[in-house]
Amino acid sequence: MRTTLDLDEDVLALLREMARRHRVSMGKEASRLIRLALQRTTPGKEPGIAGFEPFPGEGRIVTDDLVERLRDEEGV
C-alpha cells in the first residue's frame, strides 16, 4: 500500500541505512520495524525493552565498577 509519511531527518537516515543493510526497500524495512514495535506494545502500558519493564530511574549511572563493588559488598 502506498502512503506518505513525514519522518524526521535522523529517522529517515537510519531507516535508509537499515534498508540498505537488509537489502530491502525502505517501505519493507519500515513495515518490519513498525510491526515489531506494535507486537511489543501492551494496550495501556509503555513498551519495555524485549518485554522487560525497566525499574524507574534514580538519576545515577550504573557502571561496571559500581556493579563489581556491590557484588563484593554482598559477597556475590
Q: Is residue 52 part of a domain?
A: no
Residue 21 belongs to domain with CATH number? 1.10.1220
Residue from 1, 2, 26 nearest 15 by CA: 26
Higher local confidence (pLDDT), 62 or 48: 62
Write down the pLDDT at residue 33. Answer: 92
* Cβ 18 vs Cβ 29: under 8 Å: yes
- Listing DSSP states for 47-60 in one string gives --BTTB-PPPP-S-
Structural domain for 18, as ranges: 1-44
pLDDT by residue (tens digit) across 2-58? 889 899 999 999 999 999 999 999 999 999 999 888 876 555 555 555 666 667 777
**Domain tally, the chain:** 1
Q: Is 20 exposed, middle or buried (0-12, 13-18, 19+ CB in 10 A)?
A: exposed
Residue 59: band (very low, low, confident or very high) from pLDDT cuts 50, 70, 90: confident
Q: Is residue 6 part of a domain?
A: yes
Q: Is residue 70 part of a domain?
A: no
